[in-house]
Structure 1
Amino acid sequence: MSEGHSTYKPKTGIERWFDARLPLPRLVHDSFIVYPVPRNLNYAYTFGGILTIMLASQIITGVVLAMHYAPDTGLAFNSVEKITRDVNSGWLLRSLHANGASFFFIAVYIHICRGLYYGSYKSPREFLWVLGCTNLLVMMATAFIGYVLPWGQMSFWGATVITGFFSAIPLVGDWLQHLLLGGFAVSNPTLNRFFALHYLLPFLLVGTVTLHIWALHVVGQNNPTGIEVKSKTDVVDFTPYATVKDAVGIIVFVFFFAYFVFYLPNFLGHPDNYTVANPLKTPAHIVPEWYFLPFYAILRAITFNVGPIDSKLGGVLAMFSSIAVLFLVPWLDSSKVRSAVYRPWYRLFFWMFVANALFLGWLGSQPAEGAYVTMSQVATLYYFAFFIIVMPLLGLIETPRPLPHSITEAVLEKNAARSKAEE
């Protein structure tokens, strides 16, 4: 799809002069105007554009907020309150940034699920998928560090608990923990380090996202059928076909985002984080932000020792493995068929996986006691089994439905079926 010569033709002398020295108009024209995309893309494919908009929003609001924030344990909480109450439109900036983090994760989780459902990780898109997982990892690090900055109760104790788990790592654990904390406890050096990293990492994310988009343009866009482009009739120009669809998806997403920003600005935050951090008063239940809850449930599910690995180290390994396993998905799935549309058994296990991930999120918000621990262990077992057992074995024993010969044939069949249903 990415092969062929550029069709860009400068129309004026200025354009020709500029194109000969820095061909940015040619790059935009080839990448976002006439770039061929499969003609059967649905609205699940609009989340790439949504994520780009959300990343830009987070960086812009974050830079302005940083101008008013004081990274000092004695001033941080009050500086955030001052931003909300005294800075012009500060309440809007804070609400956009805080809720933007949540909606950023909503979009990225849907984006990942779409990739798993339609097999967007299969050859030749393995590196594209790995770059996407790298983006997720950088996002998670940025969000965790940013959660500490308001210096509320949950910020302080969440940082204390999570950084404490690094000490379980053999040999380098204590060194890593002291490096993050800048000492032996969460304190002023910790806040300074986290502020610097939270400012830096989004720009690193811009770099990895750029590589992700570049890799996408090299291998071409996947599509709901999972069939590669075979002729010019299988594709349409990115503009206006994909851009209009992306614009509709972005507008709908921003509508829901704006509803939370203006009407429910604190709904997704934890109530304890609206009181200043107190090292002498531990909250009843220490939990991270909602988008980390599934991984937090996996962390707490390991309550037993395995040989020389104690439960604390086992929990840390399980939590990091739950993210690391995503990087291996292209090599774990043994099926030759990409899309779950033609894989009935995989589709069933996939939706069970989605329900299980949501269940893990709920379990992460509950106390680590009684039946909640048992349920977390069962849910954690299925989480890993989906990748390590279901994906490799299902590709060997599943009989997929017959694939259409081309994308165009699939579109025509779908249109014919729709017309017949309307008669």
Structure 2
Amino acid sequence: MFARYSKALLNRIPEGFKQAHPDKFDNVVVAMSSGVDSSVAASIFSSFPNATGVYMRNWSSANNDNENPKHCDEQDWKDAFSVARYLGIPIELMNFEKDYWIDVFEPMLNGYAAGGTPNPDILCNRFIKFGKLREALDLKYGTGNYWLVMGHYSRILEQVRDHEFQLWRGLPSGKDQSYYLSQLKPEILPNVILPIGHFLKSETRQFARELNLPVADKPDSQGICFVNNSQQGKFKNFLREYLPNEPGNIITLDPATGEKTVWGRHDGLWSYTVGQKIGIPMPQGKGHHKGAWFVSQKFKDTNEIVIVPGGVHTSLYRDSLSISGFRHLLPTTTTPEQLLKTIQDAIRNSSLYMQYRSLQEPIPVVSCSVATDPSATLLPSFQLTLATPQRAMAQGQYGCLYINDRVLGSGSIE
């Protein structure tokens, strides 16, 4: 499979770049989630003598107890084990439940409690998949003495001219996952391979069927375990198990006077996100109250949620935003001043784009200013102006910057 994979790359690598590959006897560790993508990634490197799989256990069911935890991923672990056995490589189960709770789950809860819209997938990649897992592998193999293979639809490409490793979007197939990797550390890129990012999802599925992988027809995962348990309108109920009820008013603001009118109550700022349709009864007899209403703002100080009529109301749109704690994927020696120059140069070349959700159409950035002294911190804050107003940008989401298809980095929307 590796030879076929290498041949397929010949016409898929941008000019001036290359895909790094392990030597025959290098240590190759493939993170296997039991899905089609990571299973095909494992098949590509299964012929390497020192290839091994690792399955990460990050979550137990909410009903577990200390002595008899119930794991919601038992079937996934069995599937990953069967794929590894089919490919003839060993696989190890590694438990990161405690780390996940501290580094991903609790920050997510805190973000919702503060009225934000956090993204646990980005935190999971930063702190667990490319964080705690790497720390464990460093202890086992030695830092830099192994390749970590993941099944994400993104690409890590080496620029031939100066040997700089860059994170790029996956092929335009509607599966690009580069947004979720935008908080990674640049120093890890030289030893990470994302082979699936060079292919379309349909090609990956076809590879799996041709190889007769046990999971060839397994449906795609809908997310991490606790999110799966909360699908189909249950996420609010799931959060209610962990967040206290802090009722507050649902209000409208008079556009002329700013006067508040109370229309209902909410369970907590976490119960709705900006842009979400809100199902409270409004007096339909008055013309300007008819139709659906949507959340436009959340006030933490007063614990109030502001609603507006219609999903395209002007107050739902913004053409500027502030991003704080920006982490870049440029070389580690890059100074904040150099980062800003890179951003400004990209704006002048009309090649800087922003996304605040995965898989959305990239938004051109037309100006950028530093909100803090760039020499004072390695995590500067930016004020960005966008080419077109965007709907429902919410506090706590990540604003990810791209230079064309290259991921520059991301920070939290304030």
Shared fold, TM over 0.5: no
TM range, smaller chain: under 0.3
Relative to the length of structure 2, the TM-score reads 0.20
Higher RCO (C-alpha under 8 Å, 6+ residues apart): 1
Structure number with higher helix proportion: 1
